Structure 1
Amino acid sequence: MSKSVERVAPFLFGLTALALWQGAVWMTHTPSYVVPGPLKILRAFYDSRTALGAGLLSTLAVTGAALLASTILGVFLAVAMAASSFFRAAIQPWAVILQVTPVVAIAPLIIIWVGQPFLALVVCAVVVSFFAILSNTAAGLAATPPELLDLFLLNGATRWQILFQLSLPYALPFFLTGLRLAGTLALVGAVVAEFVAGSGGFASGLAWQIIEASYRLQIPRMFAALLLLGAAGIVIYAVLGVLERVVLTRRDGA
């Protein structure tokens, strides 16, 4: 299969699915408050484009801040774990516990403890996303080839030289893979936190648009917000994928 066909395949599949969806709604006469068709959703998106656009910007602001914080925290903890077995033994169990704890269960506590709404949303999103960067970067640092490590040691390299000139460059592909995963996880964490915050009276982001639409039984608008979230996730994943290819290409060509 040619590359051009592979590029258009997702769009063809999506258009086919939308056409079948719209046709099924027309043939079954399903009310829009049960399952709206794509045309109804498109009309709802146009009618609410200002509110949905503002909600998307708010959600993306939380996602971006959480991804930046997750990157700093994840890399720092991964380096600490690689540098010391004591730190690895101390950090890893707590990181796993935090990762498997449902953020929806601890989001109300975080919002109460942090106080500042935006910062609280960022903290919730970081809880969801940082582990992807931590685990992938730590795996990359641990996978440093032992023969290269021995070569550095034979040439009298210090621990910091080994870290910055060997281990971190070798772990770069692992880190970029973790960053790509963390981008979508940060979006998920931001939406979950916004759901909790919106229920508590702090209206912000696309999650609040979904809550408000469901309260008013504006199901086409709710679907429009959901599809906008899905599109945002695809764009984040694609942009970070492009970043990964560019960085690795430049590294390999250097």
Structure 2
Amino acid sequence: MTVQTAATKNNQIITESVQQAKGKDRGIRRGTLIGPMIAFVVFMGLWQFVPMILDIKPFILPKPTDVLNAAIQDWNLLWPAIQITITESVIGFILSAVIGIGISILLASSRILEISLYPYAVILQTIPVVAIAPIVVIWFGSGFNSIVMIAFLIGFFPVVSNTLMGLNSVDKNMGDLFTLYNASKWQMMWKLRIPAAMPYVMSGLKISCTLAIVGAITGEYIAGIGGGKGGLGYAITVAAVQLKTPYLFACGISGAVFGIVFYLTVSWFSRFMLSSWHESAMKVEK
């Protein structure tokens, strides 16, 4: 009876501890939602009332209501610009992901290739995009093709850097095990190194997706065209010239919202790929 009573008490203690831990997790989750919401409401309130109190003109600092009205009034211009920027960014991101991962696998397969070619990828990243953009325009012409290339170039290096780091960070014991079983170089690449590098690849894609948007909008400043075919970068340039500050804010906020959605989409894909086996994604799922 004494042993059974002690075991029962231990089970009760464990159950209470688990329930307390779950309660703490729920409290933390509520805090992660409530905190940002309160901060957002406070920020929007200050943004709305400070210009009213200080009598700041809308062309200097528009209120949120001014920005919303401008977005509604010029929606026939804003929505096509958003669609164009989305298309350019997504295509540039896909190119950077596919080509970047492919080149990383090629470099990781040969130490000589990695030593010979990787420094040039670093040099490409260190050159400012505003310096490369005019050359890209000369080669590909103004408009869509040049903007996609700029988005690709600015999002390319993070994919290569992170993927190559992951391919070169394989556990030594696992590598020795594959060698013991006489695995070929490509068998080791496809069955060991690439799966082990997936967390690094996903980190690179998360960085690249946001940089692709920056590259697309930057490219639109330089290579954008009008006539209803310009993206958010071109729309921002026109709004600034015409002192349409509320519409300028609407364009900038639209780009930011798209960036957040794009990043969350890639993050969801990362969790989908890693949640069944990698600890970082499994913790997110909990």
More deviation, 206-215/187-196: 206-215
Identify the residue that residue 141 of structure 1 maps to in structure 2.
Answer: 167
1:131 matched to 2:161: no
Equivalent-residue separation in structure 2 for 1:93 and 1:203 (angstroms): 37
Unpaired runs of at least 5, structure 1: none
The counterpart of 2:221, out of the listed 173, 195, 217, is 195
Kindly provide the amino acid, as one letter, of the partner of residue 14 in structure 1: F
Equivalent-residue separation in structure 2 for 1:168 and 1:192 (angstroms): 33
Q: Give me the identity figure in percent.
A: 31
Identify the residue that residue 117 of structure 2 maps to in structure 1.
Answer: 91
More deviation, 199-208/47-56: 199-208
What secondary structure is seen at the aligned counterpart in 2 of 1:149? Answer: helix
- Could you list the per-position Cα deviations for residues 190-221 of structure 1 after superposition, in whole angstroms to 9, with x for gaps in the alignment? 00000101389995101111111111111100
- Indicate conservation of the 8 Å contact 1:194/1:207, yes or no: yes
What TM-score do the two structures reach when normalised by structure 1?
0.95
Kindly provide the amino acid, as one letter, of the partner of residue 252 in structure 2: L
1:37 matched to 2:63: yes
Instruction: Kindly report which structure 2 residues correspond to 1:82-121, keeping only aligned pairs within 5 A, or say none.
Output: 82-115=108-141, 117-121=143-147
Higher relative contact order (CA 8 A, sep 6+): 1
Identify the residue that residue 268 of structure 2 maps to in structure 1.
Answer: 242
- Count of matched residue pairs: 253
1:59 matched to 2:91: no
Equivalent-residue separation in structure 2 for 1:87 and 1:66 (angstroms): 25
Equivalent-residue separation in structure 2 for 1:232 and 1:8 (angstroms): 23
| Segments ≥4 residues shifted beyond 2 Å | 7-12, 198-203, 250-253
Equivalent-residue separation in structure 2 for 1:193 and 1:153 (angstroms): 47
1:166 matched to 2:192: yes
- Indicate conservation of the 8 Å contact 2:142/2:225, yes or no: no
Kindly provide the amino acid, as one letter, of the partner of residue 232 in structure 2: L
1:152 matched to 2:178: yes
What TM-score do the two structures reach when normalised by structure 2?
0.84
What secondary structure is seen at the aligned counterpart in 1 of 2:193? Answer: helix
What secondary structure is seen at the aligned counterpart in 1 of 2:249? Answer: helix
Kindly provide the amino acid, as one letter, of the partner of residue 156 in structure 2: F
Q: CA offset at residue 169 of structure 1?
A: 0.2
Identify the residue that residue 230 of structure 1 maps to in structure 2.
Answer: 256
Identify the residue that residue 5 of structure 2 maps to in structure 1.
Answer: none
- Indicate conservation of the 8 Å contact 2:162/2:201, yes or no: yes
1:22 matched to 2:48: yes
Identify the residue that residue 208 of structure 1 maps to in structure 2.
Answer: 234
Q: CA offset at residue 251 of structure 1?
A: 4.5
Q: CA offset at residue 246 of structure 1?
A: 1.4
Q: CA offset at residue 4 of structure 1?
A: 2.5
What secondary structure is seen at the aligned counterpart in 1 of 2:61? Answer: coil
Kindly provide the amino acid, as one letter, of the partner of residue 67 in structure 2: I
- Indicate conservation of the 8 Å contact 1:141/1:171, yes or no: yes
Kindly provide the amino acid, as one letter, of the partner of residue 212 in structure 1: V
- Indicate conservation of the 8 Å contact 1:107/1:124, yes or no: yes
Kindly provide the amino acid, as one letter, of the partner of residue 172 in structure 1: M
After superposition, the CA RMSD in angstroms is: 1.8
Q: CA offset at residue 83 of structure 1?
A: 0.8
- Indicate conservation of the 8 Å contact 1:36/1:219, yes or no: yes
Higher alpha-carbon Rg: 2
Unpaired runs of at least 5, structure 2: 1-26
- Indicate conservation of the 8 Å contact 2:77/2:228, yes or no: no
The counterpart of 1:177, out of the listed 199, 203, 223, is 203
Equivalent-residue separation in structure 2 for 1:194 and 1:17 (angstroms): 30
Q: CA offset at residue 144 of structure 1?
A: 0.3
- Could you list the per-position Cα deviations for residues 63-108 of structure 1 after superposition, in whole angstroms to 9, with x for gaps in the alignment? 1101110011111111122111111112211111111111111101
* CA spacing shift, 1:198–1:120, aligned 2, 3 Å: closer
Q: CA offset at residue 117 of structure 1?
A: 2.5
Q: CA offset at residue 28 of structure 1?
A: 0.2
